Structure 1
């Protein structure tokens, strides 16, 4: 019997404007995106209020870290973290483009950039089904 390896970061987009993500081995959902033409891997985090970008990823997409003001406080599982607000003109998830997003560059150590509720609220809906996360894009 042959097994097909499923890439949990690879977004499958079906004809009903859904992005279907498979859970990774660690149980989290990851998605590959592009910001300013640069590939960024995000972990979906319903416990995060905003799109939170690591320092490493912020530099990768061309953010000048020295000009940021880290004055936004976030309560995390590891305590208080400071972030700096930035605007994302365009972000691609799969083949879907999102425009004019607000994000925060996290000043602390982060293993992954996070797609939080400020992103998920832009969707028509999101739902968990077995080992999948289904993101439904609004057709407005």
Structure 2
């Protein structure tokens, strides 16, 4: 009788382990697929030769990509409607940015108070600029930086379909 119950236990254990393994494999497959849909540029390579940067539009229709501010990694959301680079307040603290003069920015939700700042360097792929104007937005949630025209105006932007090419 004990042998039957231990066989039954081992059988159930293997069945549970099989299901857990299958669920883990499905999770990994779909997690990678979701990452590719939501952040197709997550593996953007940084090059030093000023080569054009080619970005793919994500599932929501936005261009997001990793980059750096003052040599520290950040996630950018390209925003041609933003005059300056807009940095969430909590991220600005992490980046040790100094808030400067108070100014006001017009947003879809109205006018807000922001703090001007200068960035020593901003880089996206192999494209980098020094001494770029930005503002610290204490009202922004999350860690995503809006990459506005204070950076983008120095580049040529070519959009074809779901691809945006940026070059000097």
Q: TM-score range by the shorter chain?
A: 0.7 to 0.9
> CA contact under 8 A between 1:8 and 1:30: conserved in structure 2?
yes
Aligned positions, number:
130
**Where does structure 2 lack aligned partners over 5 or more consecutive residues?**
1-31
Secondary structure of 1:73's partner? strand
Bigger share in strand: 1
| Alignment-derived partner of residue 31 in structure 1 | 65
> CA contact under 8 A between 2:44 and 2:66: conserved in structure 1?
yes
Runs of 4+ in 1 over 3 A off after TM superposition: 9-16
> CA contact under 8 A between 2:53 and 2:126: conserved in structure 1?
no
1:4-32 deviation line (CA, Å, top 9, x unaligned)? 96533443679882101111111100121
Higher relative contact order (CA 8 A, sep 6+): 1
> Residue 113 in 1 paired to residue 145 in 2?
yes
TM-score normalized by the length of structure 1: 0.80
Tell me the C-alpha RMSD between the 2 structures. Answer: 2.4
Q: Out of 38, 55, 60, which is 1:21 matched to?
A: 55
Larger radius of gyration: 2
Measure, in 1, the Cα distance between the counterparts of 2:127 and 2:60: 26
Distance 1:63 1:12, change over 3 A: closer
Measure, in 2, the Cα distance between the counterparts of 1:16 and 1:88: 20
